[in-house]
Chain A
Amino acid sequence: DTAVSQTPKYLVTQMGNDKSIKCEQNLGHDTMYWYKQDSKKFLKIMFSYNNKELIINETVPNRFSPKSPDKAHLNLHINSLELGDSAVYFCASSQDGQGNYGYTFGSGTRLTVV
């Protein structure tokens, strides 16, 4: 019973392509997030959604567009991929949107742009 599942786990693609990463949570949480972990291992928040509504939108290139069809799903679409987009992308969810119970993370999607 995977709580937060994201697909694919690995994604290798060429510069300029458009790709999507999907995320689903079966925890009944209202809030979902996308984080980026760079080569220095810093986890940086990109977006958060609460019940399909965008709450946090950090300084992220507008080539990145999140989409939440329902509160259990938060997908990430990336246009015109660049070499610098290579990183591990984590989806997460939280029970209350305030972090009182911590975040539940997916296992990550390793994106490599060549």
Chain B
Amino acid sequence: SQKIEQNSEALNIQEGKTATLTCNYTNYSPAYLQWYRQDPGRGPVFLLLIRENEKEKRKERLKVTFDTTLKQSLFHITASQPADSATYLCALGGRRGKFQFGAGTQVVVTP
């Protein structure tokens, strides 16, 4: 069965450092991969989308890589700030537009 794995342990990081999150998947050939941010009591907020034929995507301090051979995406937050503290979800989608979400990784940035 299709499986998406994100590190369930919280990532504690010092302000200014780069946070790196992983999203691994099995039994899946996604056409797209999305990353979302979710704050407590709120809905997920879309951050970035990367397609299967793209290796890397950037948006401000965020960078996403997508390796279809390793079946892995990495999500980087550079120069992290306390305001970046949240849970980050990856979601994999096929061509029908149906996305499957991972459980997310919590990031805690301390001053």
Contacts and interface: CB of A to CB of B under 8 A. Distances in A.
Interface string A38-59: 0011111100100000001000
A1 to B, nearest CB: 15
B54 to A, nearest CB: 12
- Which of the four size classes fits the interface of chain A? 20 to 34
Contacts of B89: 43
Nearest to A43: B101
Interface in B6-43: 32, 34, 36, 41-43
Interface residues of B, number: 25
A41 B87 contact: yes
Given A42-B103, A48-B98, A94-B97, A107 B42 contact: yes
Contact of A41 (B41, B91, B103): B103
B101 to A, nearest CB: 4
Contacts of B97: 31, 48, 94, 96-99
